Amino acid sequence: MKRANWQELLWVAIIVVLAAFWPMLANGYWLGIGVDMMMYIALATSWVLFSGPTHYISLASAAFFGVGGFIVGTGMSDYEASFWSMLALSAVVGGALAALIGLATLRLSGVYFVIFTLGLAEMIRNLVSWIQNNFLGSRGLYVLTDFTDKHLYWMLLVTAAAVYLLGWIISRSRLGFALRIIGGDETVARHVGINTAMAKVILFTSTGFFGAIVGAIIAPRWSYIEPNQVFSPQLSFFVVIMALLGGSGRLWGPIVGVVPFLLIWNWVDANFPHQSILVLGLAFLVIVYFLPHGFVGRIDQLRARARGRS
């Protein structure tokens, strides 16, 4: 992960402003795709915040996302809470959950961390289902709001922009530099005086915080919340694949990963509904064989070559 510069911030700001006009141009199907894209851009960017510099692959996205959806669902249908208060609560609970997971997984590295996060997300999904079936009654959770896709799209755009801005600030801070050092060699990081545990927990907490916010914002779209749906592990894999496809070396990487992936996914899903999961496997192969550093890595490579020639 490189230190982000002002030029990059300006480009992203322009993209955010342009993206804000999408609901004026599109509706129905294309607006729905826009909502999906914004949702995954926000999730993948917050994933990159932590996993980009540290190279720790987290499969816990669904846990945070699910917490957001579930809190909004339970709060609004069982306690008549307002959407906004439940959104705030989700963010706090998502952040706290991530901090706990971070503290528990500090000593794990590599493949153990991947498996632990996946297992934990699954455990939370089952736990929440069990609690709902046994204690909250299986009445189902209804989220009834006046929001349409257009509103959800804008809220997600604001969230994605906030994630990016936070990442941009961090990448220029001592914390961001510390994460690059941790990603390079954790032993060296500790020997130059970095509290590696603290740095990782802080970043992972922000991932959980934003993951839950996205889950909460999406909840009104479904109207009816079912734990197995909001905690679906497929979401965690989607986030990782899109982030890696774009390239986790840059904060804007997810943008260039999410857009093509979702376009292809939706097209295949519409035309060959039973083969859509193939896209996931193919994307994995493409990443491993052709784009080890994602589109971002390829773009950087081409740029370097162009500079070398001129």
Partner 1 sequence: MNSSRAVLSVKNVTKRFGGLIAVSNMSFDVAEHEMVGVIGPNGSGKTTMINMISGLYAPSDGRISLKGRLISDRQPQAIAREGVGRTFQLVRLLPSLTVLENVVAGAVYGHRRRWGREAEEFAHDVLERVGMDAMSYAQISSLTYIDQKRVELARTLAGEPEVLLLDEWLAGLNPTELETGIELIHALRDEGRTVVLVEHVMDAIRSLCDRCVVMSSGAKIAEGTPDEVLSDREVVRAYLGDDDA
Binding site for partner 1 (CB under 8 A): 174, 177-178, 180-181, 183-185, 187-196
CB of 95 to partner 1, least distance (A): 24
Tokens, residue 21 = 């006009």
Tokens, residue 29 = 């199907």
CB of 181 to partner 1, least distance (A): 5
CB of 192 to partner 1, least distance (A): 5
d(CA 97, CA 104): 11
Nearer CB in complex with partner 1: 6/135: 6
Nearer CB in complex with partner 1: 20/197: 197
CB of 291 to partner 1, least distance (A): 18
Q: Which of 231, 211, 212 is nearest to 123 (CA)?
A: 231
CA–CA distances in Å: residue 277 to residues 265, 266, 283: 9, 11, 10
Nearer CB in complex with partner 1: 104/188: 188
Nearer CB in complex with partner 1: 52/95: 52
DSSP string, 57-80: ----HHHHHHHHHHHHHHHHHHS-
CB of 241 to partner 1, least distance (A): 23
What crossing angle do the helices spanning 233-246 and 253-271 adopt, rounded to 10°? Answer: 120
CB of 57 to partner 1, least distance (A): 18
CB of 184 to partner 1, least distance (A): 4
Nearer CB in complex with partner 1: 150/172: 172
Nearer CB in complex with partner 1: 66/176: 176
Question: Residues with Cβ < 8 Å from 282, sequence gap 6 or more?
Answer: none
Q: Which residues, listed in sequence order, are joined to residue 142 by a DSSP beta bridge?
A: 224
Nearer CB in complex with partner 1: 141/194: 194
d(CA 217, CA 72): 9
Q: Where would I find the H helices in the chain?
A: 6-19, 22-25, 29-54, 61-78, 83-105, 111-134, 149-171, 174-184, 186-191, 196-222, 227-230, 233-246, 253-271, 276-289, 294-309
